[in-house]
Amino acid sequence: MAKADSLISALYTLWLFPLSDIPTMIIPVTLLGMLTAASGQFGTLASSRDVLLRLPQTFSWVWLNVFLFSISNQRSKESILEDSINKPWRPLPAGKLDMSQARQLLLIGIPLVLTSCSLCLGAAQETAFCLVLTWMYNDLGGADEHFVLRNMINGVAYFFYGSGALKVATGSESVGSEASVWLLMVACIITTTMQVQDLKDQEGDKARKRSTAPLDLGDRVCRFSIAVGVILWSLACLSYWPWSPIGLLVVLSLGSLVVWRVTLLRNAAEDALTYRWWSIWLISVFCLPIIASH
């Protein structure tokens, strides 16, 4: 009984690492791969049914890669200090694991995930690229060096996460040039609007002395940059795909909601919710290829 309780506790602790990334990273990236694959706009041979049947593999690939990133991101002294203010429920500030155990978990997890992707799930190359970007972001200080570099790494990472999810969703070895262009547009959206995630964490980021857009540019300028980015990218993506009343209504409505929230609702709790709505707006953009196919 004690062993069973210990196992459940260990699994729960592992689940906590990527928990906050489920609505803002894991679900959007999974949907990016699946919706892009199912749209039939990029020459993929997989049918919508095949793509749906591969949902467990696609979700697993995204979850495993985000899991490795989350451990790496949360294990440093600076991260524990920040999380003790912004996210005290996470495993390390909550005392469920220490830094040494997190490092050991990575030593075990990285080869296991690479092996799983090489032999079962696919997109092993994208996993390797994601690991390199994780190393740059966390261990080389890319997340703290300057907010522009941080956003650029996030944008490039989103490209490879999306590419990997697309490969797994279709069961193919390549994504094609047209899909790469679409994923590049998505990466640009991330690069220019990802600072929305920093609004809610200003107190912890200030304690860590991290370079973020709201701290370096000022809260007002940062919010203005997000609002402009959401508006311009909504129009750009709607123009890239054949005009659709549904796409127009959904993307512009959600984009307008994000702009309204980010400019008028200015406290940590509302900013956390705005970040969720930004993720939903992002998902609506990901829906445009499949909307255009009908």
Enumerate the domain spans of the chain: 23-292
User: In the predicted model, is pLDDT for residue 11 greater than 70?
Assistant: no
Pick from 30, 5, 117: which is nearest to 68 by CA? 117
| Tokens encoding 16 | 């906590």
Q: Report CA-CA distances (Å) from 119 to 45, 55, 125, 230, 267.
A: 22, 18, 12, 39, 46
Measured in degrees and rounded to the nearest 5, phi and psi for residue 122 equal 100, 180
Report the predicted TM-score, pTM, of the whole model to 2 decimal places: 0.91
Query: What are the contacts of 237-244 at 24+ separation with CB within 8 A?
Result: 237/185, 237/189, 237/285, 237/288, 238/288, 240/182, 240/185, 240/288, 241/288, 241/289, 241/291, 241/292, 242/292, 244/288, 244/291, 244/292
pLDDT digits over 128-158, tens only? Answer: 999 999 999 988 888 778 889 999 999 999 9
Give residue 294's pLDDT: 66
Share of the chain above pLDDT 70, in %: 94
User: In the predicted model, is pLDDT for residue 1 greater than 60?
Assistant: no
Sign of torsion over alpha carbons 270, 157, 164, 130: negative
Give residue 173's pLDDT: 83
Mean model confidence pLDDT for the chain = 88
